């Protein structure tokens, strides 16, 4: 008898699917989900490969990926106003449904390979891959919802006590996640390529998961999360970050001399900074993505905001408030440096020249906003940004104009697991534990900042007046490095959650998150006969103001998403999250 997806598909009102639909075997009704089938390593390999296909990277064809497009943070300002994920309780949500569907597929693989007669090492490897993905999906669920049902069997309609059970306490779920990811690290082994599963990739995921849990359980509050801090639990998970780092360090990965090379390369196979990547077909993409096209088009892109711009250190290693360097952040009209594009362009080259060199990789030198456009190369579209700062990080000149500008035809490979987040996780964990050494800093934060031309910092950095959060100067600078190094990489929102800093997304408390570039130096006479109102953008003093008249206000309930009402309607044992 074929089972159905009670959690997810049924709740979403989709057509009932068989237990084998996740495995996508064609024709579906001929899929032999038997111990004989699962006795073949080739069959197990094929099914775990499908898990790899579910990793978004830069996106699948027309779909958005996990880089750049998550605008709910204090690094970007969306032209269409990025509010909280939900203001009201939704009927359904893919944030709930999709992970449970993936988990159910993982449970089928785990159960299947255990039933087969493969060699023991093969069984462990493929079970490890499935538990890798199950750990990841449960991590996503816990980040968003807190308590969720822990399901470790391919539950169907007959398993009513599981399917219609109550939510499992998040601490129990996260301990099960830790068991899964530790099993994956121990069993998957080395990969034949960077597009394959490996123990090192599992260790990188472990570092991320354990850093989240270790810091969340230190800074969470009963008022905001209905969960009191737990120092013992925090210590346990931060020490697991140390173990993950030691595992990856022993594998010999190393940073590239230049920041940005992992984001704009057609081939990452020889890039020693990358642990695992997602590949796209070349040269004419039968399978590509659109991350470059979205940031290389005439559509107004989500730009870096002023709060993020000001977070970058100056080349003397000091922040905006204490630097001895020129703090000019405006615009100059300068001759175009782009071959085939004559005339003067609004340039932020001077502002970039005094700051962390990573900023000049993240952003274009030219400004583009409203009716003032930036052309990146001869034949490029006229680009503009909500904030004036045009995102450059993912651009490459190795693709044709057609491939650059066509969604679904971008073929740069996407880094999935890479060294920088692991280094940053280790530095932060050690600082939180109070065990960090100067050598630790040199291996992690200082190595990353060095690529940005920033002097090495010590264990006792000078105070930044912007640090009013109550954390040490050291933690403040480690968090700054993380923000700058991983900007547009989809870490920031959940960093704010685990640090208990979500109120920084309140635009009334932090107005710079809705401000853009300083355009006071812009020679308006070069545009639209000098009429400011024709610029096509609103100014707030000297700065571009994004989505004027709209504000995002913080409330403690936003630390967790609301459980979809449709799920509660199906399962009376489910409860709603606090304050929803």
Overall number of domains in the chain: 3
In terms of phi and psi (left: phi > 0; alpha: psi -120 to 50; beta: otherwise), the region of 349 is: alpha
- If asked whether residues 335 and 369 sit together in one domain, one would say yes
Two tokens, residue 471: 């954390």
- If asked whether residues 374 and 259 sit together in one domain, one would say no
DSSP assignment of 197-241 equals --HHHHHHHHHHHHHHHHHHHHH--HHHHS----HHHHHHHHHHH
446/462 Cα distance (integer angstroms): 15
Tens-digit pLDDT profile for residues 460-509: 999 999 999 999 999 999 999 999 999 999 999 999 999 999 999 999 99
- If asked whether residues 310 and 353 sit together in one domain, one would say yes
pTM for the predicted model, two decimal places: 0.93
Q: Is the peptide bond before 408 cis (omega within 30 degrees of 0)?
A: no
- If asked whether residues 36 and 142 sit together in one domain, one would say yes
Which residues sit opposite 168 in a β-bridge?
148
- If asked whether residues 126 and 51 sit together in one domain, one would say yes
417/164 Cα distance (integer angstroms): 35
Which residues sit opposite 544 in a β-bridge?
539
In a domain, 446, yes or no: yes
Residue for token digits 């309780």? 89
In a domain, 402, yes or no: no
- If asked whether residues 573 and 517 sit together in one domain, one would say no
By the 10 Å C-beta count (0-12 exposed, 13-18 middle, 19+ buried), 312 is classed as buried
In a domain, 470, yes or no: yes
- If asked whether residues 73 and 171 sit together in one domain, one would say yes
Helix (H) or strand (E) holding 246: helix 231-249
Tens-digit pLDDT profile for residues 309-367: 999 999 999 999 999 999 999 999 899 888 888 888 899 999 999 999 999 999 999 99
Which residues sit opposite 410 in a β-bridge?
289
In a domain, 193, yes or no: no
Tens-digit pLDDT profile for residues 409-430: 999 999 999 999 999 999 999 9
Q: Is the peptide bond before 283 cis (omega within 30 degrees of 0)?
A: yes
CATH of the domain at 103: 1.25.40.890
Q: What are phi and psi of 563, to 5 degrees?
A: -65, 130
- If asked whether residues 213 and 315 sit together in one domain, one would say no
- Show Cβ contacts of residue 460 under 8 Å, excluding neighbours closer than 6 positions: 473, 474
- If asked whether residues 453 and 522 sit together in one domain, one would say no
- If asked whether residues 75 and 180 sit together in one domain, one would say yes
CA distances from 364 to 185, 197, 360, 375, 486 (A): 39, 35, 7, 10, 17
What is the 3 state secondary structure string of 336-360? CCCCCCCCEEEECHHHHHCECCHHH
CATH of the domain at 236: 1.25.40.900
535/520 Cα distance (integer angstroms): 13
In a domain, 309, yes or no: yes
In a domain, 285, yes or no: no
- If asked whether residues 130 and 220 sit together in one domain, one would say no
Two tokens, residue 96: 């709930």
Two tokens, residue 72: 């709910």
In a domain, 429, yes or no: yes
Q: Which domain holds residue 435?
A: 198-278+417-501
- If asked whether residues 81 and 228 sit together in one domain, one would say no
Per-residue pLDDT tens listing for the chain (580 residues)? 233 222 333 222 222 233 333 333 333 334 578 999 999 999 999 999 989 888 999 999 888 999 999 999 999 999 999 999 999 999 999 999 999 999 999 999 999 999 999 999 999 999 999 999 999 999 999 999 999 999 998 876 556 777 788 999 999 999 999 999 999 999 999 999 999 999 999 999 999 999 999 999 999 999 887 799 999 999 999 999 999 999 999 999 999 999 999 999 999 999 999 999 999 987 666 889 999 999 999 999 999 999 999 999 999 999 999 999 999 999 998 998 888 888 888 999 999 999 999 999 999 999 999 888 899 988 889 999 999 999 999 999 999 999 999 999 999 999 999 999 999 999 999 999 999 999 999 999 999 999 999 999 999 999 999 999 999 999 999 999 999 999 999 999 999 999 999 999 999 999 999 999 999 878 766 665 555 456 677 889 899 999 999 999 999 999 999 999 999 999 999 999 999 9
Contact status, residue 386 vs residue 79, Cβ threshold 8 Å: yes
* Cβ neighbour number for residue 262 with a 10 Å cutoff: 21
In a domain, 403, yes or no: no
């Amino acid at each position: 008898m074929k089972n159905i997806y009670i959690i997810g598909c049924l709740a979403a009102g989709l057509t009932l699917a068989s237990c084998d639909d996740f495995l996508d075997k064609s024709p579906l009704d001929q899929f032999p989900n038997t111990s004989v089938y699962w006795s073949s390593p080739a069959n197990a390999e094929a099914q775990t490969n499908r898990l790899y296909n579910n990793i978004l990277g830069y996106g699948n064809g027309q779909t958005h990926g996990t880089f750049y497009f998550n605008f709910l943070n204090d690094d970007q300002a969306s032209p269409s106003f990025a509010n909280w994920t939900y203001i009201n309780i939704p009927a359904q949500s893919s944030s709930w449904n999709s992970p449970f569907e993936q988990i159910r597929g993982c449970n089928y693989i785990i159960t299947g390979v255990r039933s087969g007669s493969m060699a023991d090492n093969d069984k462990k490897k493929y079970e490890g891959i499935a538990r890798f993905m199950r750990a990841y999906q449960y991590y996503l669920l816990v980040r968003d919802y807190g308590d969720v049902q822990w399901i470790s069997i391919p539950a169907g309609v007959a398993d009513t006590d599981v399917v219609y059970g109550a939510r499992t306490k998040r601490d129990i779920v996260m301990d099960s996640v830790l068991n899964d990811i530790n099993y994956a690290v121990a069993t998957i082994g080395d990969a034949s390529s960077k597009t394959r599963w490996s123990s090192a990739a599992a260790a990188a995921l472990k570092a991320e998961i354990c850093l989240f849990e270790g810091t969340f359980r230190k800074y969470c509050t009963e008022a905001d999360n209905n969960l009191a801090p737990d120092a013992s639990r925090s210590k346990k998970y931060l020490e697991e970050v140390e173990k993950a780092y030691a595992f990856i360090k022993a594998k010999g990965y190393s940073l590239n001399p230049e920041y940005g090379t992992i984001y704009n390369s057609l081939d990452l196979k020889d890039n020693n900074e990358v642990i695992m990547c997602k590949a796209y077909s070349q040269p004419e993409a039968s399978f590509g993505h659109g991350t470059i096209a979205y940031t290389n088009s005439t559509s107004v892109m989500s730009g870096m905001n002023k709060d993020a711009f000001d977070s970058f250190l100056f080349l003397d290693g000091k922040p905006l408030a204490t630097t001895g360097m020129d703090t000019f952040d405006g615009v100059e009209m300068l001759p175009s440096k782009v071959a085939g594009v004559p005339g003067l362009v609004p340039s932020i080259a001077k502002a970039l020249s005094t700051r962390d060199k990573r900023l000049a990789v993240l952003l274009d030198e030219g400004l583009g906003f409203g009716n003032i456009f930036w052309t990146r190369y001869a034949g490029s579209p006229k680009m503009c940004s909500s904030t004036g700062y045009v995102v450059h990080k993912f651009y490459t000149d190795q693709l044709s104009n057609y491939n650059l500008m066509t969604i679904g035809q971008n073929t740069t490979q996407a880094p999935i697991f890479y060294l920088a987040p692991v280094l940053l996780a280790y530095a932060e964990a050690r600082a939180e534990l109070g065990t960090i050494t100067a050598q630790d800093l040199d291996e992690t934060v200082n190595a990353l900042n060095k690529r940005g031309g920033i002097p090495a910092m010590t264990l006792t950095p000078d105070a930044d007046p912007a640090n009013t959060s109550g954390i040490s100067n050291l933690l403040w600078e480690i968090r700054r490095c993380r923000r700058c190094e991983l900007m547009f990489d989809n870490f920031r929102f959940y960093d704010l959650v685990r640090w208990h800093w979500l109120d920084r997304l309140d635009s009334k408390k932090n107005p710079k998150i809705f401000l853009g570039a300083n355009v006071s130096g812009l020679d308006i006479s070069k545009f639209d006969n000098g009429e400011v109102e024709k610029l096509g953008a609103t100014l707030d003093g000297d700065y571009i103001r994004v989505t004027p008249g709209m504000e995002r206000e913080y409330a403690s309930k936003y630390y967790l998403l609301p459980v979809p009402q449709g799920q509660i309607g199906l399962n009376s044992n489910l409860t709603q999250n606090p304050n929803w």
